[in-house]
Each structure stands twice: as C-alpha cells, then as structure tokens.
Amino acid sequence: MTPLFIYFIKVNLALALLYISYRLLFRNDTFFGLRRITLLGMLLIAFLYQLPDISNWLSTRPTISEMISYYSTILPKEIPVEAAASMDKTANEANMDWGKAGMNGFIIIYLSGVLILTIRCIAEMINLFVTHRRSKKRMIDGIKVYLIPETEEPYSFFRWIFIPAKLQNELILGEILQHEAAHVRQVHSFDVLLGELVSVICWINPFVWLFKKEIGINLEYLADQEVMHAGYNKKKYQYHLIGLEHSDTAIANLYNNFSVLPLKKRISMLNKKRTNNVGKVKYLALIPMAAAMLLFNNIDVMARIVNSRTTEAPKALVAATTPEFVPATIAEAPLPPDDDKVHTVCEVMPEFPGGQEALLQFLSKSIKYPTEAFEKKEEGRVSLTFIVEKDGSISDIKVVRSISPSLDAEALRVVKLMPKWTPGKNKSGEIIRVAYTVPVIFRLQ
C-alpha cells in the first residue's frame, strides 16, 4: 500500500474513533461552545495527528522500543522479489491483475463521488452568490438583510442574512434576526464549510456524514441559545419554529437555516436543564486522546520501517528437523548519541560477524528441533529481541512472540550462544546500544 493510501485509511479510522468518543462523552450536555470547539478539533486531529514525527524521542524509551519490536513482528510480511519471482507465474499474474483491478475500481468510485459532491458544492455556492446579487437590500433594526421570496426559509451565509420579503409578524422577524445575527457574529459558516470539505474528501466514510450533521445541529443550538439570552419567550419561540415551513434538504445546504431539521432535538435542547459546570472537565479528555493517536501512529510507522527491512532467507529443501531462519534488520534513521539509552533505529545497523550469511549458517548448525515440539508437530515463528551493546555483546534477550515453551527455549538458547556482533552507530559515527529483533521460523517439512 502506498503511503497516501495508508494516510487516508488512518484518517478515516480516526474519524470513526473520534465520532464514537464524541457520542459517548459530549453529545448530551449543554456546553454548545465547547462542543463546537471539540467537533472542529476532532476533524483537525484526524487529519493532522499523523504529521508530527517523535520517532527520535520514542527510540530512546526502552518500553516503547520493545513495543515497536514486537509490533513489527506481527505485521504482515512483504513478499521479497526473489520469492515473488519463484511463485507460479500464472497464479501470481492473476492475483496481481485482480488486485490492480480492485484498487482501480475503488479509486474510480471514490473520485467519482468526490467529483459529484464538489460539483454540488460549487452549484450551491453559485446559487448563493446569484441570490445575493439579485436580492433587494433592506435595513431592519440596524441589520442589513437580503429579501428573498416569501416561500423560502430565512438563512445566513457568513455576513449575508436572507429573510422572506413579506414576513409580517414583527415578533417572529425579531427572533429570526437574532438567530441569524448569532450565526453571523460567531462565523458559523466556517464550521459548515469545513464539515462540507471533510465530507467531500472522506465521503465514503459514514462517520463523516454524522460529524457534519452534529456540526450543523450544534450551531443551531448555539443560535437558539442566543435568542433566549436576548430575552425572547421560550415557549413562543418553540411554537414559531414549529409553525414555519421546513425543508427536508436544509441540513445539506452550505448555509445556516433558521428552521433546520430536526426540530425535535432543538426543542428538546431548549427545554433541557443546563449541565453542571463540573462537566466541562471531561473536555480535557481530548488531549490524551490526541496524544495516544500520535503515539500509536509513530509506533506504527517505526514498526513498518523495521518490518520493511526484514528479509527472508532463500528457501531450500531441508531436513524435517531443521528450522528456517528469518533475520531482521534495524531501520535506518539518524539519532543523536546517548551513552545509556537503547535505540530502536540507527544509521549503521548492528551486524553478526561475517554478515547475514554467516548468521544463517550459525543458526542452521546450532538450532536443534526439540523432540517434544517435533512430536506435537509444533511450528511457527518465534520472535526475540535483544540489545546489541557497545562492545558487541548481546543482553536483555526476550521472547516477544511465542509458539511453545520448547521452541521458545531453543530459540533463546541459540541466541545466547551467539558471538559478539559489530555494534550499531549513529549518524556522527558514535557507537550506541541498539535493540534488535530476530524472528526464527520453525517449520516441519
């Protein structure tokens, strides 16, 4: 998968996770201003959390290094070029053709959706500008409004307020002006446009449309709250909302509607008891959520780098009791020197004396398939991590992926027998301690 495709997948997964968190934590309180900030913040977090690079800091944390080493062992391995070439040619080409066809089909469907939604947005923008240009202007209570046909609903877009031309009831007119002026003062159209942009980019994700709907209805809660603060009667305001004509497509427009659906939720929120201010503390939960997503993304990226450097030894006919070995290499990334810290990535990776071929020969001669495992027909991958010290010695050997006690013990025994390695170095050429992962495959043939 390409980096862009992985980024796109992570964005959509983050949007799903963040929306579920919003529903569980924030949706039922009356802190509409905080909810507005939270909704916008969640959209930004979903798109930006993958950008900060904290790999240098993470590589010096032993616990994180172990997590990266273990995670790299459970990621699916890429098929080496040599292995791919040795596969059945017809089957391999068929699989590649199906894969390409599927990906191309997905891209065509996705881009078609983006194009259709973009055209819709442009059409709505053109309609707004044409309406603004053709509408008569009028000052009502010091507020400039644009008169539209009386069959249409009042709405606003940034600093433009559109009001039906023959709205006779002065009380209703005052409520509408107060409502739409709140949208204008608080620049609610920015939220609407941001939600629209995200829904165009990630239209294939149902959680995006739920986000967009939540943004729209929360803006109406804010504007309704402003009307109440202005001193209008709550009960009469609710009757006026019910009495106005409503459009089923109001929620999809690029502007803020006075009578946007669903009215039931707005009326329910108007009558709801204000949430205790202590409840505002829960909004701080957004900070650790963003930090956790940042941490996981960097661990995932670093593990994929380690995983991509893992190569598999060429397969050959071996005896039934002979294990195959898959050596792992360390990702290349410059890091500052440190005397005591263990690094997960480095500029010059540690190396077994004589290189990988010598390492394969050492393991082939040293490992003996345990009788117990052979009788139980146990096979699979045992992954071990250890630290290559500055003097090349091996320390802190651990099994991070287990098969069975006997196979784990055999892998540990052989790793402990290894001679000193050539230690790793950082960009400036200084010798450093490096964590290293070795997967050993036991396979009965």
Residue 227: other Cβ atoms inside 10 A: 24
Q: Sign of dihedral through CA atoms 93, 99, 100, 102?
A: positive
Helical ranges in 61-88 per DSSP H = 62-74, 81-86
- What is residue 56's predicted lDDT score, i.e. its pLDDT? 74
Q: Are 228 and 179 in contact (CB under 8 A)?
A: no
Q: What is the pTM of this model?
A: 0.67
- What is residue 99's predicted lDDT score, i.e. its pLDDT? 64
Structure tokens at 386: 């250890």
β strands within 168-314, DSSP E: 256-257
- What is residue 256's predicted lDDT score, i.e. its pLDDT? 56
- What is residue 393's predicted lDDT score, i.e. its pLDDT? 92
Domains of the chain by range and CATH? 3-128+184-253+260-290 (no CATH), 309-442 (3.30.1150)
- What is residue 364's predicted lDDT score, i.e. its pLDDT? 78
- What is residue 237's predicted lDDT score, i.e. its pLDDT? 87
Q: How distant, in Å, are the alpha carbons of 34, 97, 346, 350, 392 from that of 432?
A: 47, 46, 8, 10, 10
Q: Tens-of-pLDDT digits for all 445 residues of the chain?
A: 678 889 999 999 999 999 999 999 998 899 999 999 999 999 999 999 999 988 777 766 767 766 776 776 676 654 444 444 444 455 555 555 666 777 888 999 999 999 999 999 999 999 999 999 999 999 988 889 999 887 788 889 999 999 888 776 777 888 989 999 999 999 999 999 999 999 999 999 999 999 999 999 999 999 999 999 999 988 888 888 777 655 444 334 565 555 445 678 888 888 889 999 998 999 999 999 999 999 999 888 877 766 655 444 333 333 344 454 455 444 444 444 456 788 877 778 888 898 878 887 888 788 888 888 888 888 888 888 899 999 999 999 988 888 889 999 998 998 999 999 999 888 888 899 888 888 787 877 6
Only one residue has tokens 């923008």, namely 125
The backbone torsions φ and ψ at residue 37, rounded to the nearest 5 degrees and listed phi first, read: -60, -40
Q: Are 232 and 294 in contact (CB under 8 A)?
A: no
- What is residue 258's predicted lDDT score, i.e. its pLDDT? 52
Helical ranges in 142-187 per DSSP H = 170-185
Phi and psi based region of residue 314 (left: phi greater than 0; alpha: psi -120 to 50; beta: remaining) = beta
- What is residue 356's predicted lDDT score, i.e. its pLDDT? 79
Q: How distant, in Å, are the alpha carbons of 17, 286, 298 from that of 292?
A: 12, 10, 10
Peptide bond into 262 cis (omega under 30): yes
